[in-house]
Structure 1
Amino acid sequence: MIEDTMTLLSLLGRIMRYFLLRPETLFLLCISLALWSYFFHTDEVKTIVKSSRDAVKMVKGKVAEIMQNDRLGGLDVLEAEFSKTWEFKSHNVAVYSIQGRRDHMEDRFEVLTDLANKTHPSIFGIFDGHGGETAAEYVKSRLPEALKQHLQDYEKDKENSVLSYQSILEQQILSIDREMLEKLTVSYDEAGTTCLIALLSDKDLTVANVGDSRGVLCDKDGNAIPLSHDHKPYQLKERKRIKRAGGFYQFQWAPGGSGILAMSRSLGDYPLKNLNVVIPDPDILTFDLDKLQPEFMILASDGLWDAFSNEEAVRFIKERLDEPHFGARAIVLQSFYRGCPDNITVMVVKSGIVARTEEQ
């Protein structure tokens, strides 16, 4: 009931901000005050009317300036007020990340490519923290490097190895989770994080997902191909697993009805891990790049997906691939403009295949 009330209040607050802060609303207020002044001739109201007119002129001027400089409608001004704005650009990869309306920045990302040695895949990761930034920072600083080392070892003796990209991903994700839980439990740090990792080689794309960060690919026909599936407690498979573990979900929000998680799988979160309600097991999918011939892929924290569907995001980025950040900056700021309350991190990898793009 509390969550429903908070959601309703949040919605009402967003509606009020949307209508009350619009220039048209201020203009109508000025007209109303002007009529009141005309009929009642109060000096105080006349002063208010004059100030309101000046305010409307200022707002209209600022809106005109913003619309001229940025087609996103004023988001450059808002961007300057973000406590943390991170960006990355290298060859065919671009990332844009903002703190947005949250008090803290808990998103992290990593890109590991090796132009000199293309025998092992490039690594791309999105980590959306919660309950603090400890878990996301830990996974970001440890997991990609561990994967890189194991992938290099695997490539040296690939023909005789019983491993695969999928097994290496699963082993390292679970290993990092165990390692992190030992440290966080000692310090009573309840932080957790999602984990979305993509390995791109010449012919294959392998994606491992834990939580509700999401990947989407644009194929040769412009279709949006899901690269991962969100782990939500209301999904049938997850709901059954949570029930078997002795937990339950409430208001389609958090396992155990605790209200602290909107996902059923994560790294970290030691109190819920001890109850086996939240698990770290990744879902791993592999895609044939020769068959899909992708134009680009999007990896993003759930801040983006609160504002965009897979299809909308693909269309939006497709129209902006020639921009400096391949549309990553534009879609992040548009998500903020649409009212997203969360941290927002978006990574766009152009042309789908690292090796091919870097050779162009």
Structure 2
Amino acid sequence: MSLLSLLARIMRYLLLRPETLLLLCVSLALWSFLFHTDEVKTIVQSSRDAVNMMKGKVAEMMQNERAALDEEFSKTWQYKSSTAAVYSIQGRREHMEDRFGILADTLNKSHPTIFGVFDGHGGEAAAEYAKSHLPIMLRQQLQRYEKQKENSALTHKSILKQQILNIDKEILEKLSASYDEAGTTCLVALLSEKDLTVANVGDSRAVLCDKDGNAIPLSHDHKPYQVKERKRIKKAGGFISFNGSWRVQGVLAMSRSLGDYPLKKLKVLIPDPDVLTFDLEKLQPQFMILASDGLWDAFSSEEAVHFIKERLDEPHFGAKSIALQSFYRGCPDNITVMVVKFRKKGSKAAG
């Protein structure tokens, strides 16, 4: 909260309360009546003028505060279906660089549903490209796989990894041609009837609530300070330094991403995803959360699961509530939260 906002609230709640102003005016009027001095009359009038002027200042500051808040929520995206909801806000950032996507095969609902969250940085171009092209590429490959899976060595896991690497090549080729240094995280989940496959590049995160209410990590953040990542960066001839957070080459606060062609040329940054597969019949999940790091800067995985579990009956399954709560806790970033509910019977989610 700014100093002006704090001053405005003090004036509004303390100095400008009716009883305070009444007591001040009565005291000055009594003084004037008893002593009949022109000086006191002048003081009374000056006090009234000052109070009126301060009221105007407070009203102006309140208006400016409301305008600033409206600007912070100037880009708010939301989505709602019977099994999934998303709430995404620009927050305190100058630009909205988060993107998300949900793609189901309406012709064949036995094919996996694709969920994705992409947290852009250095511009929105990389996140926009990944959101617009990766789900479609995945659906095409998954459809081919379903037709010939008995004679194919491919799996959902290998398809997901290869398509993420392919999309990174496309982003690098497209953006480097225009000297656009934008990059993005990539968090994608493939949900079928019995299995859940999750791939992650960067520091967006997915977590699942199992049948007992426990938080099950579906992904692992890629941060420069992690031993494995730090060794790889050092071996490539790079370095990490602390500037508010640990950063690759003093620039990027994650150790893997899509795009970011200057750091990719130095080979200190890689696009390789971690891909994990989960048995839904064993976990019998209640819901899962996919979110950009704007949420995880304000909530731990366990706290987020508990928060959403208490709000699954809300219109956005708690996604709106937790996104706004992250903002009110002071998160300076864009915030995107996706909540996917699972059917209780058979532990399946609708496509």
Matched, 1:27 2:13: yes
Q: Using the alignment, how far apart are the partners of 2:305 and 2:145 within structure 1? A: 34
Q: Using the alignment, how far apart are the partners of 1:311 and 1:25 within structure 2? A: 40
The 8 Å contact of residues 293 and 352 in structure 1, kept in 2 or not, is answered as no
1:185 is matched with which residue: 176, 185, 198?
Answer: 176
Residue 217 of structure 1 is matched in structure 2 by: 208
Read off the aligned partner of 1:108 and give its amino acid letter.
R
Q: Using the alignment, how far apart are the partners of 1:329 and 1:127 within structure 2? A: 18
Matches within 5 A, 1:109-124: 109-124=100-115
Go from structure 1 to structure 2 and tell me whether the alpha carbon gap of 1:52 and 1:212 turns closer, same or farther (over 3 Å shift).
same
Q: Using the alignment, how far apart are the partners of 2:208 and 2:138 within structure 1? A: 22
Q: Using the alignment, how far apart are the partners of 1:81 and 1:256 within structure 2? A: 30
Deviations 1:161-190 (A, max 9, x none): 111111111110001101111111111010
Q: Using the alignment, how far apart are the partners of 1:343 and 1:24 within structure 2? A: 30
Q: Using the alignment, how far apart are the partners of 1:48 and 1:291 within structure 2? A: 70
Residue 294 of structure 1 is matched in structure 2 by: 285
1:253 is matched with which residue: 246, 249, 252?
Answer: 246
Matched, 1:331 2:322: yes
Q: Using the alignment, how far apart are the partners of 1:19 and 1:302 within structure 2? A: 29
Go from structure 1 to structure 2 and tell me whether the alpha carbon gap of 1:79 and 1:234 turns closer, same or farther (over 3 Å shift).
same
Gaps of 5+ in 2: 29-39
Read off the aligned partner of 2:241 and give its amino acid letter.
Q
Matched, 1:351 2:311: no
Matches within 5 A, 1:141-152: 141-152=132-143
Q: Using the alignment, how far apart are the partners of 2:222 and 2:3 within structure 1? A: 32
Residue 303 of structure 2 is matched in structure 1 by: 312
- Give SS of 1:358's match: coil
Q: Using the alignment, how far apart are the partners of 1:327 and 1:198 within structure 2? A: 20
Deviation at 1:337, TM superposition (A): 1.5
Matches within 5 A, 1:66-105: 78=69, 82-105=73-96
Matched, 1:163 2:149: no
Deviation at 1:352, TM superposition (A): 6.5
Q: Using the alignment, how far apart are the partners of 1:196 and 1:202 within structure 2? A: 20
Q: Using the alignment, how far apart are the partners of 1:136 and 1:238 within structure 2? A: 23
Q: Using the alignment, how far apart are the partners of 2:144 and 2:333 within structure 1? A: 38
Q: Using the alignment, how far apart are the partners of 1:214 and 1:88 within structure 2? A: 19
The 8 Å contact of residues 240 and 248 in structure 2, kept in 1 or not, is answered as yes
Go from structure 1 to structure 2 and tell me whether the alpha carbon gap of 1:109 and 1:17 turns closer, same or farther (over 3 Å shift).
farther
Q: Using the alignment, how far apart are the partners of 1:26 and 1:225 within structure 2? A: 47
The 8 Å contact of residues 217 and 227 in structure 1, kept in 2 or not, is answered as yes
The 8 Å contact of residues 105 and 139 in structure 2, kept in 1 or not, is answered as no
The 8 Å contact of residues 27 and 56 in structure 1, kept in 2 or not, is answered as no
Q: Using the alignment, how far apart are the partners of 1:245 and 1:51 within structure 2? A: 63
Residue 243 of structure 1 is matched in structure 2 by: 234
2:274 is matched with which residue: 283, 292, 310?
Answer: 283
Using the size of structure 2 for normalisation, the TM-score is: 0.84
Deviation at 1:58, TM superposition (A): 12
Deviation at 1:46, TM superposition (A): 3.6
Which protein shows a greater Rg? 2
The 8 Å contact of residues 224 and 230 in structure 2, kept in 1 or not, is answered as yes
Task: Note the aligned Cα RMSD (angstroms).
Answer: 3.1
Read off the aligned partner of 1:27 and give its amino acid letter.
Y
Which is further off, 194-203 or 44-53? 44-53
Q: Using the alignment, how far apart are the partners of 1:211 and 1:352 within structure 2? A: 29
The 8 Å contact of residues 5 and 61 in structure 2, kept in 1 or not, is answered as no
Q: Percent identity?
A: 67
Deviation at 1:49, TM superposition (A): 3.7
- Give SS of 2:336's match: strand
Q: Using the alignment, how far apart are the partners of 1:25 and 1:246 within structure 2? A: 57
The 8 Å contact of residues 118 and 355 in structure 1, kept in 2 or not, is answered as no
Deviation at 1:53, TM superposition (A): 7.0
How many residues in Structure 1 have an aligned counterpart in Structure 2?
A: 329
- Give SS of 2:216's match: strand
